[in-house]
Amino acid sequence: MQSAQNETKLNRSLGFWSALSLVVGTVIGSGIFFKQSSVLDSAGSTTNALLAWLLGGVITLTAGLTIAEVGAQMPHTGGLYVYMENIYGKIWGFLSGWMQIAVYGPAIIASIAAYLGILLVGFFHLSNGWQAPLSIAVIVLIGLLNMVENRWGAAFQIATTLGKLLPIAAIIIFGLFFGDQNAFGQTLHTVQQSTGSFGVAVLATLFAYDGWILVANLGGEIKEPQKLLPRAIILGISLVLVAYTLVTYGILHFIPADTIHKLGQQTTLYFAQAAFGTIGGRLLNIGIIISMVGCLNGKIMTFPRIIYAMAERQQLPFSKQLRYLNPKSHEPIVATLFILVYASIMIIFFDPDRLSDLCIFTVYCFYVATFIGVFLLRKRHRGEKRPFSTPAFPITPLIAILGALFVIISEIGSDLPGVILSLVIVALGIPVYYYKQRRAN
C-alpha cells in the first residue's frame, strides 16, 4: 500500500486556458460586488474610489509581473511557499506556507463563502439563520468536486469563469449607457467624514484583486509552466483590472454615492433590480452567484496543494495523512478535507469583512519578501538565462514593493489589534517548525 502511494503523483495536465481561468476565476469573486460601499466610504468620494480601484489593479499587475519571473524559475507545486524556501531558506518557506494554511487560505475561503451565503439568503428570501449552513454546504460540494481528477475542477473553473463574465458585462454596459449620475466628484454627504482613508480604500480593493498568485500552487500540474504560468498571470490580472475599473464606473454612474453608502453590501443587489427589473435582476444575481462559486472552486482547488507540498517535506503534524493522494484521482483529499473543516469553523464564528482584512495583511508581508527576492535571485544567478524577465526592471518590482508596503502600513494604522493577532498566528508556526525539525533529526 505504501509503495502504491509513493508512486502516486499529481497530474501535469492543465493547459493555458485552465491556468488563465484559474487566475481570472480566483480573483473575480465576491469583492467587486460587495466591496463597492466599503471602498467608497473609506475613499470619501467617487473620484477617489475609482482611483483606489485603479491603483489596486496597478499594484496587483506589478506584483504579478514580478512574481512571474520568480515562478518561471521555480515551477513547482506550492507557489509562494516554494519561492520563499528557495530564496530565504526553509524556515521562511515554512512560515509562508503556515501563514497560508493557518490564516490566509481558510479565512479567504470562509469570507467568500459567507458573502455568498448573504447573497443566497436574499435570493431565496430565507431567514438570516440559513446564511452559515448555505455557505458551508457550498464549500463542501465544491470540495467534493475537487476530490476527483483535477481536469474536472479545471473544466468547472473554465465554465464558471465564462459564466461570471455575463453579469460583469451587464453591469458595465447598463451603467455606462443608462446611468445618469456623475461618476466623478461626488462626495459622501450622509456622513461627516470618511470612515477610513485612501490607503484603507486601496486595501479593500486588494481583497477583490487577490487570488491571482494561487495558480502558482499548481506549478507541478501545469504543462510547460515556465512559459504558460507568466502568460496566465499577466493576462489574467490585466483583464481583471480593466473589468473592475469599468464595473466600478458603471455602478457609480448609475447609483448616487450617498445611496451606495446606505445600501452597503446590498449595493449590487439594488443595482440588479433597479437596472433589469425583478426577473432580470434575479438572472443577474444568478450570474453573480456563479462568479462566486467559481472563485471558491479555484481557491479550494489550489490551497490544499500548499498543505500537500509541506506534508511531502514532512513539515506538518500528521504529514503522512495530509500528503495522501487518492490513487485514482491523484488528488490530495485529506488536505482538502482539512481546508473545508477549518473554513467551516471560521464561517460560523467570524465576520467576513474581518477575515478578508486579516488575509490581505498577512499575505502581503510575504509578498514584499518575494518581490525583494527578484533582486536577490538576479544577483545570485548573474549571467544565467531566465525563462521570463520582469519588464521595466527595476521599476516594476520597486512599484510592487512600495505598493505592498503601503498596504501593510495602512493596515497597521487602521487595525493594529488585527495585525498583532495575525502575526501571533504566523509566529505560532515557529515552534511547530523546530519541533518537526527535531523529530526529523
Of 113-127, 169-183, 233-247, where does the model show the most confidence? 233-247
Average pLDDT over residues 273-279: 79
Percent of the chain with pLDDT over 90: 21
Give the three cell numbers for residue 316: 506538518
Question: Cα-atom radius of gyration of the chain, to the nearest Å?
Answer: 21
Side chain identity at residue 373, one-letter code: G
On whether the CB atoms of residues 366 and 99 are closer than 8 A, the answer is: yes
Average pLDDT of every residue of the chain: 83
The dihedral sign for the CA sequence 153, 154, 159, 165:
positive
On whether the CB atoms of residues 190 and 262 are closer than 8 A, the answer is: yes
- pLDDT for 141: 92
- pLDDT for 439: 80
- pLDDT tens track for 158-178: 787 787 788 788 888 888 887
Please provide the distance, in angstroms rounded to a whole number, between the alpha carbons at the two ends of the chain.
26
Average pLDDT over residues 92-103: 90
Domain 2-440 fold:
Amino acid/polyamine transporter I (1.20.1740)
- pLDDT for 408: 86
- pLDDT tens track for 387-437: 888 998 999 999 999 988 988 887 788 778 888 888 888 899 999 999 888
Q: Specify the pTM.
A: 0.81
Where does the pLDDT of residue 193 fall: very low under 50, low under 70, confident under 90, or very high at 90 and above?
very low
Q: Give the Cα separation of 86 and 56 in Å (integer).
A: 28
Where does the pLDDT of residue 189 fall: very low under 50, low under 70, confident under 90, or very high at 90 and above?
low
Where does the pLDDT of residue 5 fall: very low under 50, low under 70, confident under 90, or very high at 90 and above?
very low
On whether the CB atoms of residues 430 and 96 are closer than 8 A, the answer is: no
Does 373 score more than 90 pLDDT? yes
CA–centroid distance for 26 within its chain: 6
**More confident of the two residues 286 and 58:** 58
Domain boundaries defined on the chain: 2-440
Query: If phi over 0 gives left and psi between -120 and 50 gives alpha, with beta otherwise, what is residue 14?
Result: beta
Length of the chain, please? 441
DSSP assignment letter at 130: G
Residue 4, exposed/middle/buried by CB under 10 A (0-12, 13-18, 19+)?
A: exposed
On whether the CB atoms of residues 59 and 399 are closer than 8 A, the answer is: yes
- pLDDT for 197: 77
- pLDDT for 194: 44
Count Cβ atoms below 10 Å from residue 350 Cβ, excluding itself. Answer: 15
On whether the CB atoms of residues 19 and 229 are closer than 8 A, the answer is: yes
- What residues contact 119, with CB distance under 8 A and at least 6 apart? 269, 285, 288, 289, 292
